[in-house]
Every structure is written in C-alpha cells, then in structure tokens.
Amino acid sequence: GDSVTQMEGPVTLSEEAFLTINCTYTATGYPSLFWYVQYPGEGLQLLLKATKADDKGSNKGFEATYRKETTSFHLEKGSVQVSDSAVYFCALETSGSRLTFGEGTQLTVNP
C-alpha cells in the first residue's frame, strides 16, 4: 500500500539556519505530493504541493521538488524564522482523493 516516511524529529535550529526535512514515499501510480503545516492547537494548513514529476512547489520561502527517480519530496527553506516553528507533514494522494500522511516532523526555531 501507499506510505510516506519522514525524517525523524524533533528538529531544532537557530533563526536564519537552512532547513531540510526529508520525505520519501511508496505509491502505486502517480501520486500528488503535499506538505502541510500544523501550528499548536490548530488544524493543518496546506504549505505547498506538486502534482507531477519535476514540479517544484513553493510558498512562504519553502520549496519542495517532486523527484520520481528517488521517490522523494524534501522540504527546504533557506532561512528559517521563529514563526516557522510547527509540525510539518508530508502527504501523498493517489486515486480516490485519499491522503496518506507521514508521521510529522516537529520543528523548533530558536532566536
């Protein structure tokens, strides 16, 4: 079945550091890929998405590229801020509109 594996957390960085959160997937067919962010006590917000190989999703300084050859969708940001502290979820969607989520990665950014 479909699955998503995220790098284990938590991740702690200083402000302005470079961020990478790894995400790899296993899926039949050609999934769409997503990164969602969850702030404390809230639901999930869509951060970015990519629907086909080599697409790059980007939003708020975050980027991720759909790599079919390595089945990966790593999240990157060049300079993190304290306000980026949250839990980040990688997810995939195949047919039938069902999302499969990774375990989530807690990011803490210190001033």
Chain residues binding another protein by CB under 8 A are 4, 34, 36, 41-46, 49, 51, 89, 93, 97-99, 101-104
107: exposed, middle or buried (Cβ count in 10 Å: 0-12, 13-18, 19+):
buried
Structure tokens at 34: 């997503």
Minimum CB separation of residue 98 from another protein in Å reads: 6
Report the residue number, 7 or 17, with the smaller CB distance to another protein: 7
- Smallest separation (angstroms) from another protein to the CB of 28: 16
| H or E element, residue 59 | strand 56-59
Task: Tell me how far, at minimum, the Cβ of 68 lies from another protein, in Å.
Answer: 17
Judged by beta carbon, residue 43 or residue 111, the one nearer another protein is: 43
| Cβ at position 106, least distance to another protein in Å | 8
Q: Which is nearer to another protein, 17 or 38 (CB)?
A: 38
Distance, in Å, from the CA atom of 65 to the CA atom of 75, rounded to the nearest integer, reads: 8
Q: Are 65 and 50 in contact (CB under 8 A)?
A: yes
Q: What do you get for the CA distance between the two ends of the chain, in Å?
A: 41
